[in-house]
Amino acid sequence: MDLTNAREITLKTVLHQIQQAGTVFSLAFRKLDGSYCYKEQVKKNPTKVKDPESLEKKDLSSIQRNMTKAGVLILYDELEKHPFEVKVELMVGFNGYKIFHNY
């Protein structure tokens, strides 16, 4: 997907649209190894129901694990039928728009 001349969309708008129930979208992003990936049909992965134990006081290892997952979206690839993770700061395209990271 070539985003060279694509119009821009703000990251805030992208994150808001992703949260809408049932929204299917295309997404272009970089992987941690620097390669690019394009997924044609993606939606927000349904979150698991939390068990009561997970709501109790957390230990240091679980806090560290949550911190390493900060800034990560868990999404679902409709074509390949599996969940995947993407770092928010590595997202570059959404439905043909170039993502403007306005920090």
Looking up tokens 């190894």 gives 33
Mind listing the pLDDT tens digit for each residue in 47-93?
544 444 554 556 666 655 555 567 889 999 999 999 999 999 999 99
Please report, for the domain that includes residue 70, its CATH number. 2.30.30
Contact 29, 36 (CB under 8 A): yes
pLDDT of 49:
44
Residue 14 DSSP SS3:
helix
C-beta separation of 11 from 94 below 8 A: no
Specify the pLDDT at position 5.
73
Q: Which residue has the tokens 């299917």?
A: 24
Count of domains in the chain? 1
Please check whether residue 22 lies inside any domain of the structure: yes
* 32-44 confidence digits (pLDDT tens): 899 999 999 999 8
* Class of residue 53 by CB neighbours under 10 A (exposed 0-12, middle 13-18, buried 19+): exposed
Determine which of 21-25, 61-65, 98-102 has the lowest per-residue pLDDT on average. 61-65
Range of the domain at 42: 8-47+62-100
Is 56 part of a structural domain of the chain? no
Is residue 3 in some structural domain? Answer: no
